[in-house]
Chains A and B, each alone.
Chain A
Amino acid sequence: MIELLLQTGLNALFAAAYLSLVAVGLVLIFGVMGVINFAHGELFMLGAYVVVALYTNLQMPFFLVVAIGLIFVGLVGIVMEMTMFHPLRDNPLGGLVASIGFLMVIQALIILGFGVRMEHVPPVTQDVIVISEKVRLPVQRLFVILSALVCLSALWLFLKRTKFGWALRASAQDPEAAMLQGISTRTVSIIALFIGAALAGVAGSVAAPVISISPVIGHSVIVSAFIVIIVGGIGSLEGAVLASATYAFIHTVITTFVDGVIADIVGLSLMLMVLIIKPTGMFGTQDRV
């Protein structure tokens, strides 16, 4: 029993790792632009397809491909800023609707390029860390956990220790006051979109060998990410990480012991409860980022 719980904990840690990367990016973009990026799950999906194209098909080195996935999807984020979120900056609802359109375009492009079939990416390594007979952690999953730790620490350092990190937080908290310090809100929103998208991209890339990939995987990722940022508080990066861990653990435990559909229902019910009891989320205030 303890072994089963430990194994479930490791599985949950893996799920929390890539979910928190997606959720934190979503929160970052919301904090700076005030817009919910509905296409965020598709950025995760794009990251996975970068691996399908370059690693599975062209056999480039895996970690190089992950780096390419990070940069490529980050650039897609900048394209989104320029084509949708900047022109619609005074209209957050318009930005949201545009991002739904963008989601469909990306899905259609991927279907044109790869078809609708499931893609399976061969694992980089078959190694498994055996903790005990029933508690095992595939190294491929460990990569995902480590990537999340590295990326989230790097983000934290960027936000707390660098000039542009301060500029980003300042803009999220009071855009007008930030302008009065000489900060260009345009530059800040481009940086936020790049980082937010890149985090989703790297999550998709590094997780690609351990998940089933299809053009619609963005959907389940974005639903989980929405639950997580609502539970965590929509403006709180720390809240997003903690809520990702909590949600992933509950979801994995219920999937293991009961059933996956029940786990989804519990997740959504949890979100409803938080909305009723504390509408700003567990860690949220009205301030952002």
Chain B
Amino acid sequence: MLLELNNLVLSYGSVQVLKDISMEVDKAQVVTIIGANGAGKSTTLRTISGLAKLKSGSITFDGHRIDTLPANKIVAMGISHVPEGRRIFPDMTVEENLRTGAFLRKSRSEVGDDLDSIYSQFPILKSRRTKNAKTLSGGEQQMLAIGRALMARPRVLLMDEPSMGLAPVIVDEIRKIIEQIKENGVTILLVEQNAELALNLANYAYVLENGKIALEGPAEELHDNEQVRTAYLGI
């Protein structure tokens, strides 16, 4: 298993946010976590990338324990995080944002090549490369946040609500981008409130409720599950 979360427990003060969460993410898969607001989806991703510290439990990546490492070391292991709300650097240009994503990379020529491939994948970013990131539209900012994470050449990409606040046309574009990343062999752990989108993209899914896993299974099965359909797909 590429990424394993074992019995994660985390609390903010007296509030338990994660109550015994265990998940497995296999190589070259898209695994999704769906659930309502405040179920602990984002927090789960934040524990993986080292932004939130566990009370108990462990996280292993490729056989190495990573839950004791600081966030910048976890990126170096090959896990990149596209955070909730995009979190691009507003007063830096598009190109500076992308190059910052490659902060840990040594080879300048490889970074240059990757920049070119990001630009061919996201032509809109190329046309905006010298503009400050805060001048981009929401969809463009999301593409920039994804492009920035890809610049680190991650083996696992953690994506937190990539469709949030975007128009349906743009959501469709994001869907294609995620499919493309998957085809390139990058493993994806996707957090989404848009369960329809998530279950269509994913191989396997976890449903989170109040910091616990309420349900899990192959995404297709969950898509047809009566409970999931009424609670999350609104059908």
Nearest CB on B from A143, distance (A): 33
Cβ contacts under 8 Å, B149 to chain A: 180
Residue B20 at the A interface, CB < 8 A? no
From B51, B75, B90, A181 is in contact (CB under 8 Å) with B75
**For the complex, what is the distance from the CA of A166 to the CA of B103, rounded to whole Å?**
9
Residue B101 at the A interface, CB < 8 A? yes
Chain A: CB-nearest residue to B96 = A166
Chain B: CB-nearest residue to A171 = B89
Chain A: CB-nearest residue to B75 = A182
**For the complex, what is the distance from the CA of A125 to the CA of B89, rounded to whole Å?**
47
Residue A259 at the B interface, CB < 8 A? no
Residue B197 at the A interface, CB < 8 A? no
Nearest CB on B from A27, distance (A): 14
Count class of interface residues, chain B? 20 to 34
Nearest CB on B from A173, distance (A): 5
Cβ contacts under 8 Å, A184 to chain B: 70, 72
Residues A142-186 near B (CB distance < 8 A):
163, 166-167, 169-170, 173-174, 176-185
Residue B64 at the A interface, CB < 8 A? no
Contact assessment for A176 and B83 in the assembled complex, using a CB-CB cutoff below 8 Å: yes
Assess A173 versus B96: contact at CB under 8 Å? Given A167-B103, A179-B51, A182-B152: no
Residues B79-137 near A (CB distance < 8 A):
80-81, 83, 87-92, 96, 99-101, 103-104, 134
Residue B41 at the A interface, CB < 8 A? no
Residue A287 at the B interface, CB < 8 A? yes
Contact assessment for B87 and A179 in the assembled complex, using a CB-CB cutoff below 8 Å: no
Residue B215 at the A interface, CB < 8 A? no
Contact assessment for A166 and B99 in the assembled complex, using a CB-CB cutoff below 8 Å: yes
From B72, B87, B91, A169 is in contact (CB under 8 Å) with B91
Cβ contacts under 8 Å, B71 to chain A: 176, 179-180
Cβ contacts under 8 Å, A167 to chain B: 100, 103
Cβ contacts under 8 Å, B89 to chain A: 169-170, 173-174, 177-178
Residue B231 at the A interface, CB < 8 A? no
The listed residue with most B CB atoms (<10 A of its CB), out of A163, A167, A180, A185, is A180
Assess A180 versus B88: contact at CB under 8 Å? Given A163-B103, A166-B99, A166-B100: no
Contact assessment for B92 and A180 in the assembled complex, using a CB-CB cutoff below 8 Å: no
Contact assessment for B91 and A183 in the assembled complex, using a CB-CB cutoff below 8 Å: no
Contact assessment for A169 and B103 in the assembled complex, using a CB-CB cutoff below 8 Å: no
Contact assessment for B51 and A180 in the assembled complex, using a CB-CB cutoff below 8 Å: yes
Chain A: CB-nearest residue to B76 = A182
Contact assessment for A177 and B88 in the assembled complex, using a CB-CB cutoff below 8 Å: yes
Residue B223 at the A interface, CB < 8 A? no
Nearest CB on B from A141, distance (A): 34
**For the complex, what is the distance from the CA of A163 to the CA of B89, rounded to whole Å?**
14
Nearest CB on A from B11, distance (A): 19
Residue B212 at the A interface, CB < 8 A? no
Contact assessment for B81 and A166 in the assembled complex, using a CB-CB cutoff below 8 Å: no
Cβ contacts under 8 Å, B104 to chain A: 181-182
Cβ contacts under 8 Å, B103 to chain A: 163, 166-167, 181-183
**For the complex, what is the distance from the CA of A169 to the CA of B88, rounded to whole Å?**
12
Contact assessment for B100 and A181 in the assembled complex, using a CB-CB cutoff below 8 Å: yes
**For the complex, what is the distance from the CA of A241 to the CA of B68, rounded to whole Å?**
43
Nearest CB on A from B157, distance (A): 12
Nearest CB on A from B144, distance (A): 12
Residues A181-196 near B (CB distance < 8 A):
181-185
Nearest CB on A from B90, distance (A): 6
Nearest CB on B from A130, distance (A): 44
From A170, A176, A181, B152 is in contact (CB under 8 Å) with A181
Assess A170 versus B92: contact at CB under 8 Å? Given A176-B51, A180-B75, A181-B148: yes
Chain B: CB-nearest residue to A173 = B89
The listed residue with most B CB atoms (<10 A of its CB), out of A170, A176, A287, is A170
Nearest CB on B from A157, distance (A): 14
**For the complex, what is the distance from the CA of A133 to the CA of B217, rounded to whole Å?**
89
**For the complex, what is the distance from the CA of A250 to the CA of B49, rounded to whole Å?**
51
Cβ contacts under 8 Å, B76 to chain A: 182
Contact assessment for B100 and A176 in the assembled complex, using a CB-CB cutoff below 8 Å: no
**For the complex, what is the distance from the CA of A135 to the CA of B134, rounded to whole Å?**
47
**For the complex, what is the distance from the CA of A183 to the CA of B73, rounded to whole Å?**
9
Q: Which 9 residue pairs spanning A and B have beta carbons closest together?
A: A182-B75, A177-B87, A182-B104, A179-B71, A173-B89, A182-B72, A166-B100, A184-B72, A180-B81
What are 16 A-B contacts with C-beta separation under 8 Å? A169-B89, A174-B90, A176-B51, A177-B87, A179-B50, A179-B51, A180-B49, A180-B51, A180-B80, A181-B100, A181-B101, A182-B76, A182-B152, A183-B72, A183-B100, A287-B134
Give the B-binding residues of A (Cβ under 8 A).
Answer: 163, 166-167, 169-170, 173-174, 176-185, 287, 289
